[in-house]
Chains A and B, each alone.
Chain A
Amino acid sequence: MASGVKPRVKVPKTAAAGETITIKTLISHKMESGQRKDSDGNLIPQSIINTFTCDFNGQNVISVELHGAISTNPYFQFEATVPESGDFTFTWNDDDGSTYTDTKSIAVS
C-alpha cells in the first residue's frame, strides 16, 4: 500500500427522500503518471488510483476510471439521489493492489 493514503469525503448528514445531494471526495495520492523520468533518466513506472466507485445501500451512484492525467490527490464532485436512509460506500483501487474505502451515513426524513 502506498504510504499515507487518506480519503476525505463530504456528504450532507441529512436529506429529504428522493433529494439530489452533492458529494465531494478527495484522496491523498501521488498519482505517478508514468510519464516522468528519475534523475538517471529512467522512466518512473505508473502508480495511480485506477478506479473510484460510490455506492449507496448496494446500488451504484458513479464509477470512474482514472488515468495518469488525473492530478495528484484526486478530487471528484458529483450528485446522488437518496431514496432512503443508509450508507454511502466509497472505494478507491490502487495500481499496487491496495483498496481504500470510506463510508458515510445519511438520514432521510
Chain B
Amino acid sequence: MKISKLHPIMQLATAATLALGLGVAAQAEEGAKLIVNGEIEMVTRTAAPAYIDGLDEIISGWEFRSTETQALQMDDFDNSGMLGVDSALEAWNKVQGPEQKSCATCHGDVESMKGVRTVMPKFNEEANDLWTLEDYINNCRTERQNVEAWGYTGGSMTNMAALIAVQSRGMPMNVAIDGPAAPFWEAGKELYYARTGVLELSCASCHEQSYGLHIRADHLSQGQINGFPAYRLKNAKLNGIHARFKGCVRDTKAETYKPGGPEFHALELYVASRGNGLTVEGPSVRN
C-alpha cells in the first residue's frame, strides 16, 4: 500500500481499517464487464486522454463497487434510478405554462436527445458561457415554456438529467476542451488540484493519487462523472454532478462552492474531460 503518499489523516483512517481487519467492502473482480440489459456494452476502462498527465488509464466508478452493487446497474428493472427516469418521462410529455408547451412540443420523442449528454458541459455561443445539461433544461423552462426554473440539484431536475442521459447510454463521453471552452477547462483544472478544507485535500489527492485504496472501508474511485446522475444506495435517490461535488468538498471540511455556480461549472468540464472515452452510464448505481 502506498500509505506514505497519503495525507496523515488518511493514513490514520487507512491504518484504522487495516487494524480492524474487517469491514472492508469486497471490490468486484477485475475484468468484470458492464453490459446493461444484456445489450448496452459499456466502456468501463480505457486509455486516458493525452491531456491528462496524472492517469494512464481511466476507469468507471462501476469497477470500484461490490459485486452486489454492480449487479443493480446491469438490469434496468433492478436499477432504482429508473424510477426517476420514468417520472421525468411524464414531465417530458406534460404540457404546461402559459405557452402550453411540453418538452415534446419542441423536441418530439425524447430519443431526439441522443448524444446530448456526451458533450455536456459545452460552451454556449449565445450566452457566451459554459452551459451544463441542467442549464439547457432550465433555459427551456424559463424561455420556451415560460415556467419557473427548477432547483439546480432538485429531484425534478436530476430526474430529467437522467432521462436525457439514458438516451446516450453506451456512447463515449466527448466534451470539447478547446476553443472558447479552453479558459473554463483551465479554471476547472486549477480547482481540481487545489487543496481545500481542514483536511487539505484536492480532488487529485483522492481520485488521482489514491484511487483503488481504501478511505475507511470504502474504495476510492477515480471520481469519474460519466455515470451521473447516480442512484446512491446511501440516500436512495438520483444525485446530480454538482451535488456530488458539494459532498466531496464538504468532506474535506471546507465551505463548498455553490451547485450551479461558476466554480462547479468549470470543474464539471475538467472532470468530464478526464472521462472522455468512458461511456455514458446515467443513471448509474453507486453506494
Using CB atoms and an 8 Å cutoff, list the residues of chain A in contact with chain B. Answer: 4, 6, 8, 10, 24, 26, 28, 71-73, 75
Contact = CB atoms under 8 A, between A and B. Distances in A.
Looking at chain A's contact residues, is the secondary structure mostly helix, strand, loop, or mixed?
A: loop
A24 B76 CA distance: 11
A8 B83 contact: yes
A10 B236 contact: no
B80 A75 contact: yes
Interface in B62-84: 77-78, 80, 82-83
B83 A28 contact: yes
B236 A26 contact: no
Contacts of A71: 236
B82 A72 contact: no
Contact of B87 (A4, A26, A75): A4
B87 A73 contact: no
Nearest to B83: A28
B255 interface: no
A8 B236 contact: no
A26 B78 CA distance: 8
Contacts of A24: 77-78
A8 B84 CA distance: 12
B109 interface: no
B236 A72 contact: yes
Interface of B: 77-78, 80, 82-83, 86-87, 236-237
Contact of A6 (B77, B78, B87, B237): B87
Contacts of B80: 26, 73, 75
A-B complex: 4 closest residue pairs judged by Cβ atoms: A72-B236, A28-B83, A73-B80, A10-B77
Contacts of A73: 80, 83, 236
Contacts of A26: 77, 80, 83
Contacts of A10: 77
12 contacts: A4-B87, A6-B86, A6-B87, A8-B77, A8-B83, A8-B86, A26-B83, A28-B83, A28-B87, A71-B236, A72-B236, A72-B237
A24 B77 CA distance: 8
B242 to A, nearest CB: 23
A74 B77 CA distance: 12
Nearest to A4: B87
Contacts of A72: 236-237
A4 B86 CA distance: 11
A1 to B, nearest CB: 15
B236 A6 contact: no
Contacts of B86: 6, 8
A8 B236 CA distance: 16
Nearest to B235: A72
Contacts of B82: 8
Contacts of B83: 6, 8, 26, 28, 73
Given A71-B236, A73-B80, 15 more contacts: A6-B83, A6-B87, A8-B77, A8-B82, A8-B83, A10-B77, A24-B77, A24-B78, A26-B77, A26-B80, A26-B83, A28-B87, A72-B237, A73-B83, A75-B80
